[in-house]
Amino acid sequence: MGVDLLTGTRAYRRRLDLTRPVARQDLLECLEIATHAPSGTNRQPWRFVVVQDPELKQRIGEYYRKGFAAYLAARTPRPDQLADLASGQYLADHMHEVPALVLVCSLGRPPVEPSALRLASFYGSIYPAVWNFLLALRDRGLGSTMTTAHLVYEREVAELLGIPEDVTQVALLPVAHLLPGNDAPARKRTPAAELTGWDGWIADGGAAP
């Protein structure tokens, strides 16, 4: 794995090939790589549900669309976020057509009395596995986007798929082969030097994103 895999893996939406099926073996290999992520005391809390059934995808796609609309309605985007949101809307409109929807779940529920430590332990033990999975996909010419908008309807999706009440969904990952295209030129990020303090907090608080 090279640095370009780490710096070039993007949120893929319009480049998802909606017509080409994704092999179960490819998904399983990438999920295997996901399981090598770190987790607190090596709990390995991840569970995965792969959805390929058209009717189930249709139902989940509807929940996602409604969740994304609620997310959009609740915010006033900055001008530099408009392109991302348009691409987000594209994905919302096509979620049900993506060949495989991978739902990443974590055993347990988020802490009822949250503290910085408990929250870090809960969510920090699952998102590294999500990122491992996304990197493994891209390494094989597949792609996805981390999405969470369906979580407004977490319970409804849990009932649809038989996910127990004490399990938490953390991400819905639409997986497809990547259409040919400009392969993820490194997107502008604030340089680390502007975000890093040495022996103390950054002098000006760090540049706003």
Q: Which two tokens stand for residue 132?
A: 């491992």
Among 4, 53, 84, 159, binds ligand FMN (CB under 6 A): 84
Q: How far is the CB of 208 from ligand FMN (least distance, A)?
A: 16
Q: Based on the shown chain and the rule CB under 6 A, indicate whether residue 4 belongs to the binding site for ligand FMN.
A: no
Q: Look-up: residue for tokens 């991400």?
A: 171
Among 61, 88, 99, 143, binds ligand FMN (CB under 6 A): 88
Tell me which residues in 89-128 interact with ligand FMN (CB under 6 A): 91
x/- site string to ligand FMN, residues 61 to 80, per CB under 6 A? --------------------
Record the tokens describing residue 112, joined without a space. Answer: 């009822």
Q: Pick between residue 138 and residue 177 the one whose CB is nearest to ligand FMN.
A: 138
Size of residue set near ligand FMN by CB under 6 A: 11
d(CA 55, CA 61): 10
Question: Exposed/middle/buried for 159, CB within 10 Å: 0-12, 13-18, 19+?
Answer: exposed
> What string marks each residue from 142 to 161 as x (binds ligand FMN by CB under 6 A) or -?
---xxxxx------------
Contacts with ligand FMN by CB under 6 A lie at 10-11, 84, 88, 91, 145-149, 187
